[in-house]
Amino acid sequence: MDLDVFVAAHQAEWARLEQLLGRGRRLTGDEADELVALYQRTSTHLSLIQSSTPDPMLTGRLTQLVARARATVTGARRGGWRDAARFFTAGFPAAVYVSRRWWIPTALISLAVAVLMGWWIATHPEVQSAIGAPEDLKAMTKPGGEYETYYSSHPAASFAAQVWTNNAKAAAMCLVFGAFLGLPVLGILWVNMENLAAGIGLMGGADRLDVFLGLILPHGLLELTAVFVAAGTGLRLGWTVIDPGLRTRREALAEQGRAALGMAMGLTVVLFVSGLIEGFVTPSGLPTWARIAIGVAAEAAFLLYVYVLGGRAARAGEVGDVELADRAATLPTAA
């Protein structure tokens, strides 16, 4: 398609649509019908340009025009169950799916660091001594010790609520502090992996690593995945500060920030499920294999949710941002 010829052929229609939009509610019946027809045609023009001859400046202009026309034609939307359903079936899983190139490497590197640190603690008694006095460490790792009684030290409901609150706070910090070039996110990750490594190392050094894994895996798989998703999204937000792409830095941060806000709400639900497992399943009398199976099932369900629903929505153009009509108009900038 010859872009110059296409623009020359339809420039008048776009100008007329912009003129009608500028009149607001002062439209006659015929003008309102004309606006709807021009909106539909301009939407088609935008789709053709995006698929055949993408031009950043022209695409940005028509995107702005179509968004304004859609808002005028459809009127103000009211939030409700439909928006919530769209968020959980498309927006949130798509945002997690789109961010996978950030949170999957974050997860792999973080777990590798935790395992290496845990091995170092388990095989070096002097490191264990630096963590705590021998009698204190023995009290923590012995059968019936603090590591085992921790999960049943409070009533299940209050413990689940406490765990949920703490984990949601950590995830929110990762998302919020991502704007500071992602550096605080690395600190939050380090503290989490340090705590995990201490458990692996101390229980491994006491030859009770199997007990520790039986306690941490039921809830830890989903919980850590949520933390890694939050951390990866925060790091992505930090990178956007450095490299905003074909948008102004403000526009890029606004888009990523809106997606991160939605991610925070979605991860709150994921961490709620993890908290329920930690409060009711981990300290339960179920066999270890059954508790771990519940944790694996919850993790598998989340990953299927992300890769099936999220992948489908992402391929349809969903990125976890608010709907086009609700966004501020933006124009791409030159690279």
Full 3-state SS string of 306-320: HHHHHHHHHHCCCCC
* Helix (H) and strand (E) counts in the chain: 15, 0
pLDDT of residue 325: 43
Which of 97-111, 172-186, 241-255 is least confident? 241-255
With a pLDDT cut of 70, the percent of the chain lying above it is 89
Encoding tokens for residue 30? 């015929």
pLDDT of residue 170: 79
pLDDT of residue 79: 54
pLDDT of residue 323: 52
Of the two residues 180 and 119, the one the predictor is more confident about is 119
pLDDT mean over 31-53: 84
Q: Which long-range contacts (CB under 8 A, 24 or more apart) does 180-185 make?
A: 180/238, 181/238, 181/241, 181/242, 182/234, 182/235, 182/237, 182/238, 182/239, 183/238, 185/231, 185/234, 185/235, 185/238
Contact 295, 221 (CB under 8 A): yes
* Distance from C-alpha of 260 to C-alpha of 271, rounded to nearest angstrom: 16
Of the two residues 49 and 194, the one the predictor is more confident about is 194
Which of 67-81, 207-221, 270-284 is least confident? 67-81
| 273 confidence band (pLDDT: 50, 70, 90) | very high
Residues 6 or more apart in contact with residue 252 via CB below 8 angstroms: 240, 244, 245
Query: What's the CA angle centered on 273, arms 270 and 279, to 5 degrees?
Result: 140
pLDDT tens digits for 188-198? 899 889 999 99
Residue type, 289: W
Highest mean pLDDT among 73-82, 90-99, 250-259: 90-99
Contact 228, 175 (CB under 8 A): no
Contact 182, 190 (CB under 8 A): no
pTM: 0.70
Which of 70-79, 222-231, 257-266 is least confident? 70-79
Contact 230, 178 (CB under 8 A): no
| 307 confidence band (pLDDT: 50, 70, 90) | very high
* Distance from C-alpha of 32 to C-alpha of 74, rounded to nearest angstrom: 12
Q: How far is CA 333 from CA 48, 55, 60, 272, 288, in A?
A: 21, 11, 9, 41, 56
| 329 confidence band (pLDDT: 50, 70, 90) | very low
* Distance from C-alpha of 183 to C-alpha of 235, rounded to nearest angstrom: 8
Query: What's the CA angle centered on 289, arms 285 and 293, to 5 degrees?
Result: 105
Model confidence at 302: pLDDT above 90: yes
Running DSSP on this structure, what letter comes out for residue 87? Answer: I
